[in-house]
Amino acid sequence: MTHVLLSLGSNTGDSTENLKLAIANVNALDMTEVIAVSSVHKTAPWGKTDQPDFLNQSVLVATDLNVAELMENILQIEKDMGRVREEKWGPRLIDIDIILFGEETISTPELTIPHPHMHERRFVLEPSVEIAGHMIHPVIKKSVSELLLMCELNTSQ
């Protein structure tokens, strides 16, 4: 099984319930099991700042799905929960991003893993350290914990 780090975010509707439902839906996927869940972090929006604060959470899963199958299932969970993609970095009912997929690196028009901005986003790194601080970014070759320390030194985000 591959260990996969997911980042979840919500800033519309009942964000707490949105996160809980998304985690339950991920755990219900075939050949996938949630093995750790971070605490919930309230954070300012990133990229597009004129919107409500987000609730963010990280989830560590073990899966036998390949990355394309997992991504397809995640997009379906978002759609089933009512996610409508209207604007980049805009408000959202639920957002589920694959941050790390084991030690794989993937670069396609549809998907980039490791997530290309993970090392710049404290709202991803802070909850991720709680459950997966040991995971290594396969390109930067630093642990999630080390990435958070670097992020804190280099940015206020």
Query: Which percentage of the chain shows pLDDT scores above 90?
Result: 76
Average pLDDT by stretches of 10, the chain with 157 residues: 97 96 97 97 82 94 97 95 70 91 93 91 94 96 94 58
CA neighbours closer than 13 Å in the CB half-sphere of residue 54: 26
| Count of domains forming the chain | 1
79: containing domain: 2-154
pLDDT digits (tens, 9 = 90+) for 62-97: 999 999 999 999 999 999 998 776 666 567 899 999
- Active site residues per annotation: 83, 92, 95, 97
Q: Is the pTM of this model over 0.75?
A: yes
Q: Could you tell me the CATH number of the domain that includes residue 71?
A: 3.30.70.560
pLDDT at position 47 is 72
